[in-house]
């Protein structure tokens, strides 16, 4: 038994109960804080998830040609794989802890990460068919999570924003 426990047991009943209540109330907050991202999930979404997913869809339209193109695609797919895993950790956004606390959220995040992992393999083997398949899986997860957690977001907009138009490819 450590000193702290011995001291708690030594003080009078009420004080001990209060101290235990305070201790147990503090514990989870401290643990969560140690695993908090420095930015909001919305920021992770805009700067990392969205940014790295975009070229994977573009690649399915415009076959990467050079060794450098494929390497770039592999790095972006890897960023999306990492980004998906990061979504399991709350950041500074007001609803972040609420979202990451849900089992469905955790599942969607890891599904995104796995699908992006398959895009990494596809880029490594320079297989455009597999890139395209991984891209379809990725978009399905984006949509499913948005429908579940951000129902007021017009999810079709992500296509408008992400899909290249004839002008920019």
Angle made by CA atoms 43, 45, 46, in degrees to the nearest 5: 65
- Alpha carbon distance 104, 57 (integer Å): 25
CB 112 within 8 A of CB 84: yes
Retrieve residue 55's tokens.
């070229």
Minimum Å distance from CB 1 to ligand HEC?
43
Backbone angles phi, psi at 62, to 5 degrees: -120, 95
Backbone angles phi, psi at 57, to 5 degrees: -70, -40
Task: List residues binding ligand HEC (CB under 6 A).
Answer: 41-42, 45-46, 49-50, 53, 87, 93, 99, 105, 108-109, 112, 138, 141-142, 145-146, 149-150, 153, 158, 162
Instruction: Name the residue nearer to ligand HEC (CB basis): 69 or 143.
Output: 143
- Other Cβ atoms less than 10 A from the Cβ of 15: the count is 11
Instruction: Name the residue nearer to ligand HEC (CB basis): 41 or 131.
Output: 41
Minimum Å distance from CB 5 to ligand HEC?
40
Instruction: Name the residue nearer to ligand HEC (CB basis): 131 or 141.
Output: 141
Instruction: Name the residue nearer to ligand HEC (CB basis): 19 or 51.
Output: 51
Minimum Å distance from CB 88 to ligand HEC?
8
Minimum Å distance from CB 45 to ligand HEC?
4
């Amino acid at each position: 038994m450590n000193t702290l426990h011995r001291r708690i047991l030594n003080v009078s009943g009420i004080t001990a109960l209060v101290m235990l209540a305070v201790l147990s109330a503090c514990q989870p907050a401290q643990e969560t804080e140690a695993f908090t991202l420095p930015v909001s999930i919305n920021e992770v979404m805009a700067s990392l998830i969205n940014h790295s997913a975009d070229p994977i869809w573009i690649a399915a339209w415009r076959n990467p040609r050079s060794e450098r193109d494929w390497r770039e695609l592999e790095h972006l797919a890897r960023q999306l794989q990492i980004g998906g895993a990061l979504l399991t950790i709350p950041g500074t956004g007001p609803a972040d802890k609420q979202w990451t606390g849900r089992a469905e959220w955790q599942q969607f995040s890891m599904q995104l990460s796995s699908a992006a992992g398959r895009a990494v393999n596809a880029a490594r083997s320079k297989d455009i068919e597999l890139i395209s398949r991984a891209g379809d899986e990725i978009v399905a997860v984006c949509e499913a999570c948005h429908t579940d957690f951000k129902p007021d977001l017009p999810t079709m907009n992500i296509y408008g924003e992400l899909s290249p138009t004839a002008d920019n490819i």
